[in-house]
Each structure stands twice: as C-alpha cells, then as structure tokens.
Amino acid sequence: MKVIYMIAILAIVTVAGCEKELNKEPIGLITSNQDETDPKLGTVVSSVTSSYKMLASTLNIIGQWGWDDGTVLRNDFILQDIASGDMQKKWNPDGDQAWMDEFSKFNFTASNGGFNGLWSYDFEGVSRSNRAIGYLTNETVIGKIGMDEAMKNKLLAQCYFLRAFYYFDLVNNFGDVPLITKPLKNFAEAYEVATRVPQAQIWEQISADLALAKPLLPASKYIDDAEKWRVSKGAVIALQAKVALYNKKWQEVIADINELETLGYYSLNANYFDNFSVAKEFNDNEVIFAYDHQSAKTPAMGNGLCALAGWGFIAPTTNFINSFEANDPRLGYTVDVQTQNVYKIFGELNSSNKGNEDSPSNKIFIRWADVILWKAEALLETGDYPAAIAIINNIRTRARNTVTANGTITPAGTLPNRNVLSTDKTQIKDWLVKERRSELGFESQRFNDLKRWGLAKDFLKSLGVNFQDRNYVYPIPQGEIDKSGGTIAQNPNY
C-alpha cells in the first residue's frame, strides 16, 4: 500500500491505493513522485506522454467511477455538446446521472460535478505538462540522462503545446483562472498560486507557450512516423490560429492558416467519414491533432464514450437533427437515429464499438475543415466575402460528394453552393454558422462557437433553455472555492 498526497489546485487530499491503482498517474499538482531530483531518461520521456492523457475519453483516468464529481471521463460532451442544444444525455431520458441534464437546461449550481470534472482534468494536464517542462528545461538533468538536443526540443515543444491547450480550455470555460507555470514543490507554493489571474494574462501565456513550441518542431507532417499522434508543427500553428480567432485578431487568423496551407500537409478528405474511421486513423489528409485511443493496453487507453453509448447515453436533440439540410450525408455519419448509433464516436459504420469501453476510436480536437472555416470567418470579418463563401462551398462540395452512410449517392441538388455574389454579411455569417454546426456536430465545438459569436443566449432561449448572461462562463467549482478559504473568487452571479 502507498499513500499519495495531492493538491487539486488547493485542497490537500489523501488517497490510498494498492499497486494495481498505482499504474495510473495521481491526481493533482503535488505528489510524492513528482519532486524527483534524479530522474532517469524513461522518467522524463514518460512524463511527456503522461501529459497527453488528460485529453483522453478513457474511463477512470482520475479516480474510480466518480460520477458525482464528474471525473469518470473527460466531459467535453456534457459541457459543450449537451450545453449547446445539439446533444441530450440519453435516447430514453431517465433519472440516471441527473446532473448531466442540468446542462441542457442551464439550471445547475456551482456544485455540479461537471465543473469539477473539467477543472480537474485540465489542471491535472497543466500539472503534468509543468512537470515535464521542469525536467526538459533543466540542463543538469538533460546532461545527466544523455538526451540529445533534437529529442529534447521535440519533447519540450509538445509540453508547451499541451499546457497551452489545457489553458485554452480553462479560459474559455471559466474566464479568469489560476496561472501555474512550474511544478509546485510544497503546499506553500500551492497557496501562493491559489488566486485567479485576468483572462488577458492567460491568453498571453497561451500565446507565449505556442511561440516557444513552434521553432522546436521539425518541418514535417508528423514528428515521428512511429507515433503520429504526437503534437506536430501543424498542430501548433493551428492552435495559434484558433487563439487569434477567439480574440478576433482576424488578420492573424488568415496569416496563420495561410502558413498552414503553404506547408501542404492538410486537405479535405474525399470522404467525410474518413476523419473518424478507425481504419483511416493517421492515414487521412485532414486530422491535425487527435488523442490516440488504443485497445488492449495497460493502463487502458480505449474510448470510454463508446461504453456510455452502450448504456443509452449520447443522443441527438430533435433541433440538431432538424438543423441539417435535406439529404445531407453528414447527419447519417454523425448519428443513425433509427439504430441509435453514434458513428462519429464509434469510428465504425456499425455498432461493433457500442458499449466497448476499450474502443480504439480517436478523439479529434483539430481537423482541416474546422481550420478553414475559421479562415472563412476571418475573411468575412475583413470584408473578403467571395473568398469566405468559396471556403463554405468547398466544405459543402465535399459533403454532397460523399456517399451516404448507407452507400448511396446523394440526390441531385443536395447542398447547393451558396451564392458567391452575395454581399450581405449577415446572410453569409448565417451560412457559416449553419455550416459549422453540420460539419462539426458532436465534436465539442458548438457551445464555444455560440458563445464567441454572442449567439448563445438568443439561440438557447429559442429552445426554451434558461440561459443567462452569466452563463457565458461557467462557475468555478464550488469545492475549489471552499478549499481555498476564499482566495479563489466565484464568477459573478453564481
């Protein structure tokens, strides 16, 4: 038996676990294993790999069946897809995990476990990234373990990206959050950082991390052909573009995506479902960054969302289904209403992964269609209407030329091109909003889109949802506020 002492930002929690559980990384910012003064090469490399794990949909990475505290698995599908009005908890609504239903109604309190789950996963990701960065920026450690400069640079770049990625999620969901950029060695240091800093400072740190990561990565689509899932230069540039998008820096968005286009690594797949097919993973043209779920690994690395689907979770709302244009094949690839199969999550056009908690289907975070729709938005905002419409039409062309999930050809007239001569900015923006919903459904993008467009309140109220202005950011988990003794303040009106 072994006792691990940890902090989940502030709180001192004691957890006892037998050897079986110690295969899993501990929760929190401080652990008895992290303050290693003599790490080995394997320790440093594994610390980088461990930094990815908080992006997984694998079950029970944190704790064991912690439904009440929202930690059974990464809960983007709840705080993003359910909250956006695209998804409902179950095909047959029931009282199981009622806290999830609160996101579809916006009648939650700060004690809802969903907030704790997201906060815990992201700050654990920050903690692991900080630990790895601490090793990799310590020249004494690097010299002692004999790591060459090229390997060090690639590993360090991945961690800078991952820290930026976790903070991107935190700032968009919670606004001002604590900023932690080094491993915390003791409780006193933890209490020093137990305060929220302004969002602008978080955005600055995200941009700084990405700027550090970019020159350290090789100019290739993958940094390692044996491990194509690792962060690449393309992923870094794409996240830089997304940061610029969320801060309405339109010219930077265009410049970053132009740079990506120049690299020539990415294009739209001919078939829409190739983005999600298990058989096509890391052999397609479009996916830029994804978490690599794998079956039959110890510790487990499978996609636990497929297990939830087997229990009746993850269903579309009627509004989501009705939002698709007639015969749009993307609906059938996202979800088959008749069979209640969520193909986009299963990675197969059948039910073989339904209920399979060890499914190999990946979690996609950034893909090319998403990126070029960012460019379309930036072009629209800078007045280049024809170029913006051309991108929207490219997305529609790929969609209508994709055979349906049943293998049939889409009927003539499906998804006709938008009028390239339109100069009506409001109309073009409406086309863009609709296209992103159809193209990216169930990919945990919609709620953030609605918020940054300022459309969340009007749209969700049209569905009868009690969305209020305060809901543009989520509440800080009440447990974190209580444990901080008040040094972490709650968001307004919660």
Is the backbone peptide bond immediately before 299 cis, with ω within 30 degrees of 0? yes
Please report the pLDDT score of residue 71 as a whole number: 97
Q: Give me the CATH code for the 250-444 domain, please.
A: 1.25.40.390
Please report the pLDDT score of residue 36 as a whole number: 64
Q: Give the predicted TM-score (pTM) of the model.
A: 0.93
User: Mean pLDDT per segment of 10 residues, for the chain of length 494 residues?
Assistant: 34 30 37 63 97 98 94 97 98 95 97 97 98 97 96 98 98 98 87 93 98 98 97 98 98 98 98 98 98 97 98 98 98 97 98 98 98 99 98 98 97 98 98 98 98 98 97 97 92 96
**What residue segments make up the domains of the chain, in order of their start?**
250-444
Please report the pLDDT score of residue 38 as a whole number: 86
